[in-house]
Amino acid sequence: MSSEFMLIILIAAFTGITHTLLGPDHYLPFIALAKSQSWSRKKTAWITFFCGLGHILSSVVIAYLALGLRFSLTLLEVIDSYRSDFTAWALIAFGLVYLIAGLKRIYRSDVQEIVRPYNPMLWILFVIFVVGPCEPLFFLMTYPSLAGNLPAVLLLIGVFGATTIMTMLAAVFAASFGLGFLRGRQVMRFAPAASGMIIIFCGVGIKFLGL
């Protein structure tokens, strides 16, 4: 394995970690929902994992289709821009619905009703992650020296994907552990509304702050 390719792999790992940490939408929704819905660690891990996996694999499929159809970089940037806009507005809408539902539940005394799972919401969140762009991965895949080297490309995707998902899981569990002291009936009463606000922030960050 050449030193150049080893450097690319290290860059892929570094990019996977940094782009995840710098994009709060990769972990804040899971932290908020896990707290407000009282998810177990196992459930939190699986939901985070599958959303991260969908995010990576969808970007790989789109990248290969784009390369196969010989799309120009300009066109790809336009496509990614639309995907980013969709993700941002979808998160804002998702958070708004969750916020409204949470505000309604603030006035209810039954905590079990407050933390009832929003099963359709989980599927919506998964779709948002699948549609959401992953620009760093595409540019790594189009590195000139990897052209025609399928094993190298697959290894690069694996390294980037593994570091991205592991960083998502690490961020989610680190924050969840840090928020472990937030317990009790009153906390759970306001948690769903707070979760909605956090998810809205993620969408606003993508759309207007370039996060």
How does DSSP classify residue 142?
A: T
As given in the structure block, the two tokens for residue 26 are 């990769």
Is the distance from CB of 82 to CB of 187 less than 8 angstroms?
A: no
How does DSSP classify residue 109?
A: S
Q: Where do the H-state alpha helices sit in 115-179?
A: 119-131, 135-141, 150-178
Residues of the chain with pLDDT under 50: 111-118, 184
Q: How far apart are CA 210 and CA 202, in angstroms?
A: 10
**Residue-level pLDDT at 1:** 57
Angle 15-132-50 (CA atoms, 0-180°, nearest 5)?
Answer: 80
Residues 6+ apart with CB under 8 A from 186: none
CA distances from 187 to 100, 180, 194 (A): 17, 11, 10
pLDDT in tens, 58-116: 888 887 777 666 666 667 777 778 888 889 999 999 999 888 888 877 776 554 444 44
**Residue-level pLDDT at 200:** 92
**Residue-level pLDDT at 70:** 67
